[in-house]
A and B are shown apart, each in its own frame.
Chain A
Amino acid sequence: MNRLPAPFGSRIDRSRPIRFSFEGKPFEGYAGDSMASALAASGQWVLSRSFKYHRPRGILSMTGADANALVQLPSDPNVAAERTPISEGLRVSAQNVNGSLEHDRDAVMDRFGRFLPVGFYYRTFMGPRRDSWLKFWEPIIRRKAGLGLVDTKAPHRHFDKTHLHCDVLVVGAGPAGLSAAIAAAEAGADVVLCDENPEIGGALTYGRYDPAILSGLSSKLEALPNLKVLTGTVCNGWYEDNWLPLIQGDRLHRTRAREVILATGAIEQPAVFRNNDLPGIMLGGAAQRLIRHYGVRPGQSAVVLAANDDGYRTALDLLDAGLSVVELVDPRPAGVAGSLEAELRGKGVAIRNGATVEAAEGTAGNRHLARVRVGGSWTACDLLAVSIGSAPAWQLPCQAGGKVGYDAGMQTMTITLPQGSVHLAGAVAGADDLEDAIASGRRAAANALSRLGHAVAVESPVTPKTIRPRYVQPIVADPKGRDFVDFDEDLQVKDLQNATKEGYREIELVKRFTTVGMGPSQGRHSALATARIVAEATGRTVGEIGITTARPPVGPETLGVLAGHHEVLERRTALHARHVALNAAMKPVGAWWRPYYYGDASSAGEAVREEILAVREGVGLLDVSTLGKLEIRGPDAGEFLDRLYTMAHANQPVGRVRYCLMLNEMGSVVDDGVAYRMAQDQFYVTATTGAVARVYADMLFWNAEWRLKVDVLNLTGAFSGLNVTGPKARQVLGALESDIDFSRDAFPYLSGRDGMVAGVPVRVMRIGFTGELSYELHCPSSLAPSLWDAVMAAGRPHGLRPYGLEASRILRLEKGHILIGQDTDAITTPDELGFGWAVSKKKPFFVGKRSIEMRARLGQTRKLVGLNFPAGTRNIPGESCLVLRGGAPVGQTTSVGYSPSLGRHIALAYVHVDDQAEGSRVTVKCRNGELIEAPVVAHAFFDPTNARQEI
């Protein structure tokens, strides 16, 4: 066991042991352990195999930033073992192995490196045939190079989205972020502070700092109720207008901040030398995190490569953790490290200046670090901690418009943001000394506060305490290679140099040719080294080379987080409970629930047939509440409808109902309904269920455009509709208490009345979709159940049956009535429907008029007609089957159904314009490919003279 005693291990709870497995072997850790720390505590350092050469890999940064420590969970691929906590019974396995992690058959790839030079796939896999890539190479490579496996049977998880608004969002709760958040909150701003780690503090939690600093900041934080702290929360992008997704586990906070302070810190950079990827070689910060966060001893015998103070502090930490520090190697000349150097020497650690680690060697199969070569001689060790420099965490700042530069004097990568609502603080802004970082946080807060209108003293710019240039490692390709620049993609120094020799001199091209920076780390550990290598190879400066574009997301995010939770939208008519009580088969139609038929599923066909017959021979009742209902009110209401619809409405008498047909500006039919003129200044207009939202929006648009004296009101939910239809409809309504005279002469076809029926105020229209005598009763929705009950009771002696959508569909098909959207498409004109009668020739303007005139001049090619399938026809085409003429498609069937009234199948179909005459025979291609002939009939299959609806 590599476990250290308390107080090491701030994140773990030693009283709660947790058992889990890795690669089928049982392991034990503590609550709070990450998978990587628990495995390291048990001596399991190899976590994965590398992408190309299948080399053993382990902990590099303990930040979960790279592919080295990605593992597979049963239902979750590519999980960062360094950051993800263990849980009881968790089954963890390694990714990208052929065989097992311990014995990977593809480890042999490491020997064939020279046959796999960078960019080799662009050449090798292009042939020999045109489809070789898709058919042959890609499947092989997918199998070989796959990372995690997707579990298509993964159990459902709950994800959740919420919105968060604040004055100041601070990203990163390290010393700079803490000081910025505290300063902003103390001034009264509404502040959110987020950090991806489970606790606040950043480097203060694992670095060699006085614990009083963090506890002081923490107690200030707790005293501020207007400061909301979100730990375990990743800020995964910056979008326009300071919109930032904060991901806290399975919850997405869609955050809008007036000011944003990015205190995202710095990313420690690895050193480049032969075999720099061996497990046991890790960044100084990783060793410190293992010790302080998890109480895990990162090795027994350490060499430290240090080119800054953090490296010296790491060495002191290693001593405190009981490791033997064999040697500290500092490439810089003696004397620059100051007091830390003396402290280390005082503890008996040998310090070698002006030298560096030139290479490393591993144990058998490169499973762990065995020794490092410094100044030509080998030193045995099982840990190499590397602290040679860092790069600012540029991802979020760059998304927010920051530009990456390079300060050649200081040898540092820099980020400059335009003046605005995004501010940088701390190490990301170059202030990596603790006091500098805290001051820089305060300054960023002051800038943000002054932009928010707070009166604050402007803080003077931070003058960094460390003003000498940073160390830069000279990167020279090792003759034997395996000096990795990008661990995710197994790219070595020579790979990048070769890319420049191929002529790929620009960083974006180098990236695409070599795939550098394309892996999970997205260049966090490779971008700076790559820029230096390309600069060196092309004789330019690092600033001229730059880095590739940073785009959201900053890190991987699950699709579940993006999807969130959605209840399925449903709309119910006021009669919903009535239908359910009558055992209706309710089906969703768009968002609406509608009765499909009334009765048991076992006798559905029978129920539909009986419902149809009830309407044809007795009386039926249909809930038409889903119809769009619009009220057009105002002195110009008639003029408004005249401009919107194809028929004339301005001259429509009060009390009359007129069909209305709507075109779009290209002359295509988009909606139909009826308009009932209730008063000189008031129309009640219906629209189709599916189109009303758009029709209403269009009406508002045109009303704003035309500036007529009109108000448009959408009454779709406010009013319900009941269609009482069938030869006995008048008897049923006559039996109800009402002030409306329903007799034929007093209430003729295509007229409307308002009044009271059964104590309910109604608007009644004599129209109908079924072709039978038909009254549509519309009333305020809260009274619809009462009206329904009254009609049902009055209809009982007459055999009234409620009928559903399927019966309605057949009833209208028997009459050849079209459904907009079902029997029309995006280019259907009124002429193609035979609706010339519904288009006014006298009106100077209506929407689509000019277009249908122009399209008429192009000539008509198709016509919607009825098709008859004689009883006994074996093969009936489905909807959308092709209509052929001379073997070529000229149209399609749009509605097909069996008519019990006629005892045969009927259909509506677009046929060639020359085949529209009754009796023409057209060819339809059935679903199984069989061609059948069917005769054309006039639109109405049933009661072609429309006598029944006008009785």
Chain B
Amino acid sequence: MAAGTATRIYPFMPGGAADGIKLVSGAVVLSDLTASPRFGLKGCGSAAWLAAQGIPLPAVNRIGKHHGMQVLRLGNEDILLLAEGVGETLAEVKTAWHAATAPKGYSSWREEGWAWLRLSGPRLAEAMNGLCALDLRPEKFGPDDIAQTRVGHIEAVTFRSPAGFDILFDITASAYFARSVAAVATHIDQHNA
């Protein structure tokens, strides 16, 4: 199911589902990485196929690295490759996967099903405390940790990025999520006024 010539439109782009919804900036900054390359495999055979490609797999709910990609182990047989800035490397993996014969797992369509937003800014910790019930203090939640939890009252996968926290969640809730973060940012501004 490789795409042809058609144009891809993601929620925060013109003509996207969340077109017109502002991503907050200021003390809390929300940025959109939804269009960034990623590829996930899920189901029987996924881990073995990836391992056979020489991709080292971390433990469940941990993040590994491979040729600049982040390897997120969401489950035994649920692995997501994030390739911010290294799309070519990922493209090679995808090409190999499409050409391979089963068993090789199945696509998890994370590039379509999940929005990918990044929360950062000087009030990052305060914003995350407002959005997520988990203990995300640096000593409790390190750069290689993954939390599969709720952020902004919806199901989400979150982990640290150098700039802040990356959040993956249901793409259809993009507008809602951006509004929720904006509301939290407003509360923070009011509280610290």
A711 at the interface (CB under 8 A from B): yes
| B66 adjacent to chain A (CB < 8 Å) | no
The 4 A-B pairs at the shortest CB distance, nearest first, are namely: A711-B43, A759-B4, A718-B113, A786-B6
Asked if A570 is at the interface (CB within 8 A of a chain B CB), the reply is yes
List residues of A (150-204) whose CB comes within 8 Å of B's CBs.
158, 160-165, 190
A711 touches B106 (CB 8 A): yes
Is B126 among interface residues, defined by CB-CB distance under 8 A? yes
Contact pattern, A 515-559, Cβ under 8 Å of B = 1, otherwise 0 = 000000000000000000000000000000000000000000000
Complex contact B4–A566 (CB within 8 A): no
- Of the candidates A158, A162, A254, A780, which one forms a contact with B190 in the assembled complex, judged by CB atoms under 8 Å apart? A158
Instruction: Look across to chain B and name the residue whose beta carbon is closest to the beta carbon of A565.
Output: B183
With A165-B137, A713-B108 known, 16 other A-B pairs at CB within 8 A are A158-B186, A566-B153, A567-B152, A569-B176, A572-B11, A574-B9, A577-B16, A578-B15, A631-B106, A634-B43, A713-B42, A758-B6, A781-B112, A781-B113, A782-B8, A786-B7
Cβ–Cβ contact A633 & B43, under 8 A? yes
With a cutoff of 8 Å between Cβ atoms, the chain B residues found around residue A716 in the complex are: 113, 172
A160 x B9 contact (CB < 8 A): no
In the assembled complex, A144 has its CB within 8 A of some CB on chain B: no
Please report whether the interface of chain A is mostly helix, strand, loop or mixed according to DSSP.
Answer: mixed
With contacts A634-B44, A761-B1, A782-B10 taken as known, whether A717 is within 8 angstroms of B170 at the C-beta atoms is yes
Contact yes or no, A567 B180, CB < 8 A: yes
Q: Of all chain B residues, which has the CB nearest A161?
A: B130
CB closest chain-B residue, reference A784? B9
Asked if B86 is at the interface (CB within 8 A of a chain A CB), the reply is: no
Q: What residues of B have a CB within 8 angstroms of the CB of A780 in the complex?
A: 1, 3, 109, 112
CA of A629 to CA of B104 in the docked complex: distance in angstroms?
22
- B77 adjacent to A711 (CB under 8 Å): yes
Q: A713-B42, A719-B109 are in contact. Are A573 and B6 (CB under 8 A)?
A: no
Q: Are A783 and B6 in contact (CB under 8 A)?
A: yes
Cβ of A256 within 8 Å of any chain B Cβ, yes or no, is yes
B126 CB to nearest chain A CB (Å): 7
Q: Which chain B positions have C-beta within 8 A of A163?
A: 129-130, 132-134
A711 and B171 contacting across the interface, CB-CB below 8 Å: no
A754 touches B175 (CB 8 A): no
Q: A165-B137, A572-B18 are in contact. Are A713 and B109 (CB under 8 A)?
A: yes
Measured CB to CB, the nearest residue on chain A to B102 is: A681
**Most A CB atoms within 10 A — which of B6, B132, B133, B186?**
B6
Residues of B within 8 A of A756 (CB): 4
Inside 8 A of B186's CB, which chain A residues have their CB? 158
Q: Indicate if B154 sits at the interface (CB-CB under 8 A).
A: yes
Against A, the Cβ 8 Å flags (1 = close, 0 = not) of B109-152 are 11111100000000000100110111111011000000000001
**Shortest Cβ gap from B55 to chain A (Å):** 19
From A190, A567, A783, B8 is in contact (CB under 8 Å) with A783
Q: How far is the CB of B3 from chain A (nearest CB, A)?
A: 6
Residue A715 CB within 8 A of the other chain: yes
For B43, list chain A residues within 8 Å (CB): 633-634, 711, 713
The answer on a CB contact under 8 Å between B129 and A162 is: yes
Q: When the two chains form their complex, are residues A760 and B109 in contact, meaning their CB atoms are under 8 A apart? A: no
Q: Does B174 belong to the interface (CB within 8 Å)?
A: yes
Select one of B15, B44, B175 contacting A711, CB under 8 A. B44
- A782/B176 contact (C-beta < 8 A), A254-B133, A565-B183, A578-B15 known: no
CB-CB under 8 A from A570, the residues of chain B are 173, 175-176
CA gap between A790 and B7 in the complex, in Å: 11
Quick check: A164 and B15 within 8 Å, CB to CB? no
- Interface presence of B2 (CB below 8 A): yes
Report if B22 contacts A (CB, 8 A).
no
Report whether B112 and A718 are in contact in the complex, using a CB–CB cutoff of 8 Å. Answer: yes
Task: Name B28-60 residues within 8 Å CB distance of A.
Answer: 42-44
Contact between A761 and B176 (Cβ–Cβ < 8 Å)?
no
Alpha-carbon separation in the docked complex, A163 to B10 (Å) = 31
| CB-based nearest B residue for A165 | B135
Cα–Cα, bound, A761→B44 (Å):
24
A708 CB → nearest B CB, Å? 10
Enumerate chain B residues within 8 angstroms of A208, measured Cβ to Cβ.
none
State whether the Cβ of A709 lies closer than 8 Å to any Cβ in chain B. yes
CA distance A575 to B15 in the complex (A): 8
Q: Which residues of B contact A759 (CB under 8 A)?
A: 3-6
CB-defined A-B contacts under 8 Å, sample of 8: A160-B184, A162-B129, A569-B154, A574-B16, A574-B172, A591-B173, A713-B42, A785-B16
Whether A717 touches B17, Cβ cut-off 8 Å, given contacts A160-B130, A565-B183, is no
Give the CA-CA distance A790 to B191 in the complex, in Å.
49
Partner of B170, one of A566, A568, A571, A709: A571
**A873 CB to nearest B CB, Å:** 41
Instruction: Judge if A91 is at the interface, Cβ distance under 8 Å.
Output: no
* Chain A neighbourhood of B135, CB < 8 A: 165, 256
Interface residues of A in 767-818 (CB under 8 A from B): 780-783, 785-787, 790
Task: Using known A-B contacts A578-B15, A711-B43, determine if residue A754 contacts B1 with beta carbons closer than 8 Å.
Answer: yes
The CA-CA distance from A256 to B129 in the complex, in Å, is: 12
Q: How far is the CB of A923 from chain B (nearest CB, A)?
A: 45
Does A609 make an interface contact (CB < 8 A)? Answer: no
Is A403 close to B, CB under 8 A? no
B106 adjacent to A782 (CB under 8 Å): no
Whether A50 sits at the interface, judged by CB under 8 Å, is no
Residues A569 and B6 in contact, CB atoms below 8 Å apart:
no
Say yes or no for A236: interface residue by CB 8 A criterion: no
In the complex the two chains form, is A761's CB within 8 Å of B175's CB? no
Tell me whether B8 and A577 are in contact (CB under 8 A).
no
Instruction: Please judge, given known A-B contacts A251-B191, A761-B2, whether A572 and B17 are in contact too, CB under 8 Å.
Output: yes
Task: Provide the bound-state CA to CA distance between A571 and B179, in Å.
Answer: 12
A577-B17 contact, Cβ under 8 Å, with A162-B126, A163-B132, A251-B191: yes
Q: Is the CB of A571 within 8 A of B176?
A: yes
Instruction: Say yes or no for A332: interface residue by CB 8 A criterion.
Output: no
Question: Closest CB of chain B to A227's CB: distance in Å?
Answer: 14
A760 to B2, CA, bound (A): 8
Query: A682 on the interface (CB 8 Å rule)?
Result: yes
Shortest CB–CB separation between residue A241 and chain B, in angstroms?
Answer: 12
A786 pairs with B173, CB closer than 8 A: no
Residue contact A760 to B4, C-beta cutoff 8 Å: yes
Query: CA of A71 to CA of B134 in the docked complex: distance in angstroms?
Result: 39
For residue B144, give the distance in angstroms from its CB to the closest CB of chain A: 19
With a cutoff of 8 Å between Cβ atoms, the chain A residues found around residue B176 in the complex are 567-571
Q: Check if B19 is an interface residue, CB within 8 A of chain A.
A: yes
CB distance from A618 to the nearest CB of B (A): 26
> Is the CB–CB distance between A717 and B106 below 8 Å?
no
**Interface status of A576 (Cβ within 8 A of chain B):** yes
